[in-house]
Structure 1
Amino acid sequence: MSKTTPATAFLRRAEIPFETLLYDYDPSVEKLGVHAAAAVNEPPERVFKTLMTDVDGKPVCAVIPVARELSLKKLATACSGKIAKMMKPADAERVTGYRVGGISPFGGRKVVPTFVAQEVLEQPYILLNGGGRGVQVKLAVPDALAVMNGRTADLLAVIS
């Protein structure tokens, strides 16, 4: 399957091997990422979501497993910052050039610091948004981290 987006074009230019997986995007589901994982027949711990945040007034991208929640406190610590908050959807779209539901850590409008949940290191490969609603890209973890210049960190909220 093939669909060209700014993210897939970016990966091709970087000569990163990847596979594109398309699925029927359904904005009515409660957990879009978990729905995407099921739609492409992958376990949720291998499918990662891209969250745009603001740390001390600067944009930061956080990449975490779709079934988990981000700890804003841990993200701020990873960034050596004080206060992290989720970016408003309109701001996330302006910074990345992507629509919410299709935000990718690859090929965005601006290059921003990217932090990836350390659990990524437990996976042989991961899937991430490919720059469009209903588009996932599957690639090796080392390639994903290298091309997004991602730094791994403890980012996940503790499940009680």
Structure 2
Amino acid sequence: MTKRADASAATPATLALARAGVAFTARAYEHDPRAAAYGLEAAEKLGVEPERVFKTLLADVDGELAVGIVPVALQLDLKALAAAVGGKRAEMADPRVAERKTGYVVGGISPIGQKTALPTVLDESAILCETILVSGGRRGLDLELAPDDLLVATGGRYAPIARAR
């Protein structure tokens, strides 16, 4: 993997990874604005197993925002996320709040380089992968990197926070 933050892929996420010296590969694809599931679209267009493509979701846990990162084919278990960050109750964050706090648009929210540092939890299934893909900070751009490197870049940790649909 190479570090790439060229003009065509420069986002707060790619710049943060480059500054931190984290190896990653920017993987761009042609986003279809009609796509209903951004993560599944990325997996299909990039030819990557959905188990390796992770979506970034924001939840309100006891009045504070937290980030949950789970495989695109699964759902975020809100109770498990709340427990992982030491909370009791969680619900999905309002999309407008998520955009304002992260600096990204829904469908392109990256767990890396957010405007506000938030508690971040990566589903433990990522441990099984040499590399995973997460949003690069805009629709049509994913970043491929080692799961441990993602946790270094976000200050996050692993926990079992995904469940089947």
TM over 0.5: yes
Percent identity over the alignment is 43
SS of residue in 2 equivalent to 1:115: strand
1:79 to 78, 85, 93: 85
Query: Which segments of structure 1 move beyond 6 Å, counting only runs of 4 or more?
Result: none
> Aligned letter for 1:56?
D
Corresponding residue for residue 152 of structure 1: 158
2-side partners of 1:123 and 1:148: how far apart? 18
Runs of at least 5 residues in structure 2 that lack an aligned partner in the other structure:
1-5
1:15 to 21, 34, 38: 21
SS of residue in 2 equivalent to 1:145: helix
1-side partners of 2:156 and 2:32: how far apart? 28
The count of residues paired between Structure 1 and Structure 2 equals 159
**Is 2:126 the counterpart of 1:120?**
yes
Runs of at least 5 residues in structure 1 that lack an aligned partner in the other structure:
none
CA drift of 1:37 comes to 0.6
Corresponding residue for residue 41 of structure 1: 47
SS of residue in 2 equivalent to 1:120: helix
Contact kept, 8 Å, 2:74 with 2:164, in 1: the verdict is no
Corresponding residue for residue 68 of structure 1: 74
> Aligned letter for 1:54?
D
Corresponding residue for residue 130 of structure 1: 136
